[in-house]
Structure 1
Amino acid sequence: MVPEKEFLIKLAYAKMPFGKFEGRYLIDLPEYYLVWYKNKGFPAGLLGQQMQQVYELQLNGLEDLVRNIRRQYPRSRQ
C-alpha cells in the first residue's frame, strides 16, 4: 500500500488517547483545540504527526476527505 494512503487510513481511525477529548476521532477534534496545540506544540511521535495533519486538513476545509476514507475502508476490512 502507498505510504500516504496507509497514513490517511490510519488517521481516519486515530482517536485522542487522553484529555478532555479522549476517545474522539482526531478528525473530529474542535478546531480551537488543534490551534491551541499548534501554538503550544504538538505531542512527539505519531500522535503529533496525526494531529498536525488534522490541523492542516481542517485549516483547508478538507476534513471530509478523512471521514470519507473511514466510510470507504471500514475497520472490518483492514
Structure 2
Amino acid sequence: MKPEDLERLLTVEMPYGKYKGRCIADLPGPYLGWFAREGFPKGDIGRLLALMHEIDHNDLGELLVPLRKRR
C-alpha cells in the first residue's frame, strides 16, 4: 500500500456493477466480501478493492475519517 492509496479510496469510483459511480470507500462490506471470495479484478481497481476490504473487515474505517473531513 502506498500512502496516497487511502486518499484514492475516497476519489476513485467503482467503474461497473451494482455500485457503479460510488467511491470505493463507500462500498458496502458484503459487496467487498463477495469480491474477496470470488476474486478481486486485476489492476488498480482490484488492488483498491482489496485494500478497502481489509480496512472494512478489520474495522479500520477510522483511518479514512480525517481524509473525509478534508473533502
**Which of 35, 43, 51 is equivalent to 1:45?**
43
Shift >2 Å, 4+ stretches = none
- Distance (whole Å) between structure 1 residues aligned to residue 22 and residue 35 of structure 2: 16
Equivalent residue number for residue 70 of structure 1: 68
Once residues 69 and 62 of structure 1 are traced to their aligned partners in structure 2, the CA distance between those partners, rounded to angstroms, is 13
Total equivalences in the alignment: 71
TM-score, length basis structure 2: 0.85
- State the TM-score, normalizing by the size of structure 1: 0.79
Q: Which has the higher contact order (CA 8 A, sep 6+)?
A: 1
* Compared CA separation, residues 67 and 24, structure 1 to 2 (3 A): farther
Identity of aligned residues (%): 35
Which is higher, the Rg of structure 1 or of structure 2? Answer: 1
Q: Extract unaligned runs of 5+ from structure 1.
A: none
